[in-house]
Amino acid sequence: MLPVSPSYLERRWMRLWRSIAKRTRTTFLYNHKIHGRLLLDSSEPMSLTLYSGYEYETDEFALIQTHLRTHPTDVFFDIGANWGGYSLLAARCGVPQIEAFEPNRKVFGLLAANITLNRFHNRIRAWNIAAGDTDCETELHIDPRATEVSTLAPGAMPEKWQYSDVQRCLVRRIGDLLPIRDKTVFIKVDVEGFERQAIAGLSSLLETNKVHMMVEVLNDQDAFRDFAEAHGLTFVSHFGSNFFFETAGAATR
């Protein structure tokens, strides 16, 4: 008999737990070893991923954790917060003010619950809006098989996603909504093809604060880097689809 690989057993274990979650209950509480106490939804693919014990974006979480522990940060912006993993991390690292933005109403409910379950409601403020370059109302496109990749720019996304669900959502210029000045700020942007619009709406924040930023960029990475630098951001590094930038003031911190 051929030996069974650990990766095969891990995949089987994950499928088993996802199946149990789907067949037994819709929403349930789960104590995650890294993210804390979470409300999960068996109809949400990311909830099932967390429930099955799989860790994702481990490098990104580790980098942000290291940064927040070595660079005192006044405000953390989680733009594209999903269920709240990065917001919860920032709170555990001691950031006193966290602003979390998630336009998908269903996922926003999980975000709000997870903030409360971990008793961070006094430090994390959840917004059911999207970040953009204009104040408006528009359509959020959602693939029901993977709601964590909902987007305002379906044309900019890979063809593998099928956005058969649509809901209306509010879009706001975050820099105008929260006119913060003279602070040290970390901004995480994960908005599935809407990065340029989100950053354009942050222009006033970039001008008046010391800013560090991590942005997931799925395509046209060279063009996006030029765009970011035109908006006052200095390129620091990148790995995979994640780009790190800072403003001139942040470099002297």
Residue 33: the pLDDT is: 84
Residues of the chain with pLDDT under 50: 1-5, 252-253
Same domain, 21 and 112: no
With a CB cutoff of 8 Å and minimum separation 6, the contacts of 248 are 232, 234
Contact 81, 115 (CB under 8 A): no
Range 64-80 burial, b when 16+ CB lie within 10 A, else e? beeebeeeebebbbbbb
Same domain, 22 and 74: no
56, 72, 90: which is the final residue of a domain?
56
Same domain, 6 and 128: no
Q: Give the integer Cα–Cα distance in Å for 152 and 235.
A: 25
Residue 13: the pLDDT is: 53
Residue 4: the pLDDT is: 41
Residue 5: the pLDDT is: 47
Residue 253: the pLDDT is: 44
Other C-beta atoms within 10 Å of 235: how many?
Answer: 13
With a CB cutoff of 8 Å and minimum separation 6, the contacts of 124 are 84, 87, 88, 90, 91, 98, 99, 100, 115
Same domain, 196 and 232: yes
12, 39, 56: which is the final residue of a domain?
56
Same domain, 240 and 212: yes
Same domain, 198 and 154: yes
Number of domains in the chain: 2
Element (H, E) at 124: strand 124-127
pLDDT in tens, 85-131: 999 999 999 999 999 999 999 889 989 999 999 999 999 999 999 99
Same domain, 101 and 218: yes
Residue 95: the pLDDT is: 98
φ, ψ at 104 (rounded to 5°): -70, 115
Other C-beta atoms within 10 Å of 43: how many?
Answer: 14
Range of the domain at 124: 57-251
Same domain, 175 and 143: yes
